Structure 1
Amino acid sequence: MGESHPQGTAERQPRAPQLLELAQWVAQRCSEAGLHPTPLPALSLIRADQTVDHLPAIYEPSLCVVVQGRKRALLGDEQFEYNPGHFLVVSMTLPVIAQITEASPQRPYLCLRLEIDAGAVADLLMQSAPEPVAAAGRGLYLESMSQELADAFLRLLRVLDQPAELSVLAPMLTREIYFRVLGSSMGARLRDLVDSASHARRIAAAIELIKQRFDQNFSVAEIAEQVHVSPSTLHHRFKALTAMTPLQFQKQLRLHEARRLMLSEGLGAASAGHRVGYGSPSQFSREYRRLFGQPPRRALQLLGPHAA
């Protein structure tokens, strides 16, 4: 299994007091484990009091900043491990298996997650964003945190409790965060998310089509035609960015949605499998076990504070 490490950056590493203040701020507002919204809809806070070995999730475009503890994201055969001082950039929708590898009630895992607004990134690029170094690779990657980026996150957190300041300053601070990420060593991948001529943007469009039709049968050729690439190009580029083929991606979306239906709506395995497009209960059970490591009937037994 390949392991990815944060890329270097010309900017300075964050100071220990910056990281400590980020962790203290999140801890004060997350007294219990789980996902916590904030007054800024795009920003959420996450706390876990124990390690988690197998946490299936659909990652949407976002920046994930661990301020205490350690986490690992598994995409195909690759693993991306990040801890304080580093962050994960998710440039497109991706099904992953996450692991919280360092957490305890005394020293919980704490994370900030900022959703990426593609429109705001595109607007920024039309103005004066720094030119990033060209890059190619997966649709999620690790970066080293800089002092400048850590400071921007701190200032964003500080205005959350000031409604008058929040409405004015939050958009500016969010733009600054995008600006810092675009200027990092792997910033080209975020730029490609909004560049209509890039292969990454076309794959992102293909992903949206698959999300809309995940419970239906379709061919790769149909998706390729709608995003204006050849089937072979779609297959190659899709796998390069997501570590899976379009049909494997569809299968994972089906299985994740079936799991959600069982956990949140109480559907039985057969009903959940049928709802997401499986005609054969045995095939659904077999593929569910292969992805999640447990048969579907164990889903409700495994429900816990971090299941979602």
Structure 2
Amino acid sequence: MIHRSSINGVRLDDIGRRLADIAPTATTDVPGLGVRVHVALHPTPPIPVIFEPMLYLVFQGTKRLLGPGGELTYGPGDLVTTAVHTPALTEVLVASADKPYRALEIPFDPQLVTALIADMHTTPAPATVETIAVHPLPEKVLDPVHRLLRLADEPDAAKVLAHGVKREVWYRVLTGPDGGAFLDLSRTNSLLHRAHAVTTWMHQNLDEPFDAGRVAALANMSVTSLYRLFKSATGASPGSYHKQLRLMEGRRRVVQGADTIQQIAASVGFASPSQFTRDYRRAFGTAPKADFPAARERSSPSRYEHPPRSAWARSLPPRPAGT
């Protein structure tokens, strides 16, 4: 089910047009603002991703996600919040060249949010904390988001003003019904804070072998508690989660084509290229050599518009009728 916001559609369209000016046809990072504009010109097959803590605002098109908590579908006027690094499958359901899928990603900034919470003096107690959730986009978020995007044309002004505008965006979220997870994430020693610390360490140490005892010590908890935490926060065991991260990064490097399979396998912690190839094929439905740029250029476009369905992709339920 798509969660619909009651926000005035014209205002959503205004921001959608601004996103189109910034990123007409492709997903684009906006360094001066510290945000990313997501664009898709057509529906896509399921793609494995790792969500980082962020706010994700949808203005046009429809997408769905299959994560630890099940299936979520989101479209115009929805706010997706993720409070911990989360492996998932996503696919664009509704998009076209005339009406592309458009969304805005605002990464979680621990320093900004922690300082903001301190200035708020009192904060509401977190509601039931969801590590990934879809809510109607709060109307009070729209004005600062629009002002932030207008700064894309003024790089000098963005250096001075963007931080303050993003602070306002986060204030509106933290003081609304969707802020509980980020309040909890910012509290030292909370379980969510510990999960974030561990998953961040894993991201930064992909070439390290997984050691449950060492990882548990990082979070200042027992191995048993670590496994419970990961199952709750990410839907996977710590070892399985770490492997998914390594494969995701391996695929990114394969698609870039800058290194050999042997070099890529070693850089993401696999004992051998054959082990990397076997696990890569199981996860993504194709061998890494088929995903190198030269191999893609030799293949017909249709092969990459609808790639083989991997084990992750096969776990998705059928698309809704008419999408």
How much does 1:259 deviate?
0.9
Match of 2:278 in 1: 286
Match of 1:45 in 2: 37
Identity of aligned residues (%): 27
Q: Does 1:189 align with 2:186?
A: no
- Verify the 8 A CA contact 2:58 2:74 in the aligned structure 1: yes
Match of 2:243 in 1: 251
Encode CA deviations 1:9-31: one digit per residue, 9 max, x unaligned: xxx83111111101111112222
Pick aligned residue for 2:53 from 56, 61, 65: 61
Secondary structure of 2:45's match? strand
How much does 1:282 deviate?
4.2
Match of 1:166 in 2: 158
Aligned partners of 1:163 and 1:251: how far apart in 2? 39
Aligned partners of 2:265 and 2:31: how far apart in 1? 37
How much does 1:105 deviate?
0.7
Encode CA deviations 1:48-102: one digit per residue, 9 max, x unaligned: 1111113233322221111111122232462222111102112222333221111
Question: Which deviates further from its counterpart, 186-195 or 198-207?
Answer: 186-195
Encode CA deviations 1:83-138: one digit per residue, 9 max, x unaligned: 1110211222233322111111111111111111111111111122651542233x
- Verify the 8 A CA contact 2:61 2:75 in the aligned structure 1: yes
**Structure 1 counterpart of 2:75, which letter?**
N
**Structure 2 counterpart of 1:103, which letter?**
A
Q: 1:240 to 1:274 in 2, by over 3 A?
A: same
Question: Which deviates further from its counterpart, 175-184 or 206-215?
Answer: 206-215
Q: 1:224 to 1:46 in 2, by over 3 A?
A: same
Secondary structure of 1:184's match? coil
- Verify the 8 A CA contact 1:70 1:102 in the aligned structure 2: yes
Match of 2:100 in 1: 108
Aligned partners of 1:189 and 1:89: how far apart in 2? 8
Q: 1:230 to 1:29 in 2, by over 3 A?
A: same
Q: 1:256 to 1:163 in 2, by over 3 A?
A: closer
Aligned partners of 2:197 and 2:281: how far apart in 1? 29
- Verify the 8 A CA contact 2:65 2:71 in the aligned structure 1: yes
- 1:77-88 alignment to 2 at 5 Å? 78-88=70-80
Q: 1:261 to 1:169 in 2, by over 3 A?
A: closer
How much does 1:145 deviate?
0.4
What is the number of residues matched between the two proteins?
A: 297
- Verify the 8 A CA contact 1:133 1:185 in the aligned structure 2: no
Aligned partners of 1:91 and 1:28: how far apart in 2? 29
Aligned partners of 1:282 and 1:205: how far apart in 2? 31
Match of 2:319 in 1: none
- Verify the 8 A CA contact 2:210 2:242 in the aligned structure 1: no
- Verify the 8 A CA contact 1:47 1:111 in the aligned structure 2: yes
Aligned partners of 2:56 and 2:262: how far apart in 1? 35
Match of 2:314 in 1: none
Secondary structure of 2:169's match? helix
Pick aligned residue for 1:16 from 9, 26, 29: 9
Question: Which deviates further from its counterpart, 149-158 or 105-114?
Answer: 149-158
Q: Does 1:27 align with 2:20?
A: yes
Secondary structure of 2:114's match? helix
Match of 2:227 in 1: 235
Q: Which runs of 5+ in 1 are unaligned?
A: none
**Structure 1 counterpart of 2:111, which letter?**
G
Aligned partners of 1:40 and 1:80: how far apart in 2? 31
Match of 2:127 in 1: 134
**Structure 2 counterpart of 1:15, which letter?**
N
Q: Which runs of 5+ in 2 are unaligned?
A: 298-303, 306-323
How much does 1:180 deviate?
1.5
How much does 1:43 deviate?
1.3
Match of 2:112 in 1: 120
